[in-house]
Structure 1
Amino acid sequence: MKLAVFDFDSTLMDGETIDFLAKPLGLEEKVASITEKAMAGELDFFESLIERVSLLKGLPYSKAVEICKDLPLMPGAYELVAELKKRDYKVVCFSGGFRIGTSPAKEKLCLDADFSNVLHEREGILTGLVGGDMMFGYSKGDMIQRLQNILGITRENTLVCGDGANDLSMFAHADTRIAFCARDVLKKEANIIIDEKDLTKILEKI
């Protein structure tokens, strides 16, 4: 058995979930600017997440769910996951984003698990608060070690793929490290770099 862990936003999914959520509030550009700085490693991930989610306060939860159920998957996502499963990989998604986005994608792609955060809502309205497993810069590294221990999978049999600074912590625990259309801060730690928006390119490299 082997383990493949993928980031969600701008990796398995073509875009940033929180940018899609900010659009109906007219805050897409403001949120996207903060996201970009966080992914480049210029901002603390936790602080940037708290700041961005606070801007979603007042959005109807039903609207957020509707937006997230049909987020655009990255070209090649279906083919990649299916082939990795044929090669005996457990395929998992880690996201600093939100479960209302990762769970529909998990079902569509037949992933083995998704780990992400939860947007707090009260009386059907987002409060601007968030909680979950993936809120810190170190969260992905912490979770991948837990999965490796539970499944008995070594770093030699672990593949990770992401695009931003909050993926660095999981890169420390895998021998196959893929930077996919990534920021320079992550490319420096990768041993496979793909700059084309086509996830099937990964299959040519592993």
Structure 2
Amino acid sequence: MSARLLVVLDADSTLIRNEVIELIADEVGRGAEVAAATEAAMRGEVDFAASLRSRAEALAGVPVSAFERVLARIEPTPGVTELIDAVHARGGVVGVVSGGFHEILDALAPRLGVDVWRANRLEVDGGVLSGRVDGTIVDAAGKAAALREWAADHDVPMSCTLAIGDGANDLQMMAAAALGLAFNAKPAVRAQADLVVGPVDLSQVVPLLPSPAR
């Protein structure tokens, strides 16, 4: 199915206000420890994949039942519904690609009206998290690849793509898109973005979209 445009967002601290891995780590009292490691990864100070594997180890023993409590704590970013509705009104597709986890995004994305999404998966053993990531990690290159793949799937020229992110692992995706927006972003990301969105309100992106189809 062809579309007029493609808008791809990061999930944690972009689509939503939270960092999901920190909420999961809170379940075993390791939220602060994981938050510090996440901050370093988002600033680009450490390799993302290595950092994610290390942070996932801190989640070992969390029961799968905890995901419902985590979902209940998630706060969608202000303006997210307005942005998604505006993209759809223009015949566009909304994608979310995340260094976070399918276990949360699979429930959250449909609620928000997201069309396509991709994330990491946590390995489960006996109803609890093993502390390992299952399969290939969605890193910076994986995010850029998802944007290109979704554009091809929906016959969207790369000139009609927009990427929104906050962390260093979003930079390749933002560079691949025709327009890369730093949103709620770290200094290194703001420095390399095409545009910086100041307020933490995704409806601020709507004026950057093409006019609605007539």
Query: Which residue of structure 1 lines up, in the alignment, with residue 170 of structure 2?
Result: 167
Correspondence 1:12 to 2:15: yes
Cα root mean square deviation, aligned:
1.4
Give the CA deviation at 1:205.
3.5
Cα separation, 1, equivalents of 2:42 and 2:24: 18
Written as runs of structure 1 = structure 2, the 5 A alignment for 1:178-197 is: 178-197=181-200
Written as runs of structure 1 = structure 2, the 5 A alignment for 1:64-75 is: 64-68=67-71, 70-75=73-78
- Residue identity matched to 1:9: D
Task: Report how many residues are paired.
Answer: 206
Written as runs of structure 1 = structure 2, the 5 A alignment for 1:1-206 is: 1-68=4-71, 70-132=73-135, 134-206=137-209
- Residue identity matched to 1:33: A
Q: Which runs of 5+ in 1 are unaligned?
A: none
Query: Which residue of structure 1 lines up, in the alignment, with residue 212 of structure 2?
Result: none
Asked if the contact 1:163/1:181 (under 8 Å) is kept, the reply is: yes
Asked if the contact 1:10/1:163 (under 8 Å) is kept, the reply is: yes
Cα separation, 2, equivalents of 1:11 and 1:101: 15
Asked if the contact 2:124/2:130 (under 8 Å) is kept, the reply is: yes
Cα separation, 2, equivalents of 1:201 and 1:134: 31
Q: Which runs of 5+ in 2 are unaligned?
A: 210-214
| Bigger shift: residues 90-99 or 181-190 | 181-190
- Residue identity matched to 1:129: R
Asked if the contact 1:65/1:100 (under 8 Å) is kept, the reply is: no
Give the CA deviation at 1:105.
1.8
Give 3-state SS (helix, strand or coil) of 2:163's partner. Answer: strand
Give the CA deviation at 1:133.
5.4
Asked if the contact 1:56/1:126 (under 8 Å) is kept, the reply is: yes
CA shift digits 1:87-123 (9 cap, x unpaired): 1110010000001221222111111111001111111
- Residue identity matched to 1:115: R
Give the CA deviation at 1:134.
4.5
Cα separation, 2, equivalents of 1:73 and 1:132: 27
Instruction: Call closer, same or farther: CA 1:170–1:162 in 2, change over 3 Å.
Output: same
Give the CA deviation at 1:175.
1.2
Give the CA deviation at 1:52.
0.4
- Sequence identity of aligned pairs in percent? 32
TM-score (norm 1): 0.94
| Bigger shift: residues 188-197 or 12-21 | 188-197
Asked if the contact 1:158/1:174 (under 8 Å) is kept, the reply is: yes
Give the CA deviation at 1:26.
1.2
Show structure 1 runs of 4+ deviating over 6 A: none
Give 3-state SS (helix, strand or coil) of 1:47's partner. Answer: helix
Give 3-state SS (helix, strand or coil) of 1:97's partner. Answer: strand
Give the CA deviation at 1:59.
0.6
TM-score (norm 2): 0.91
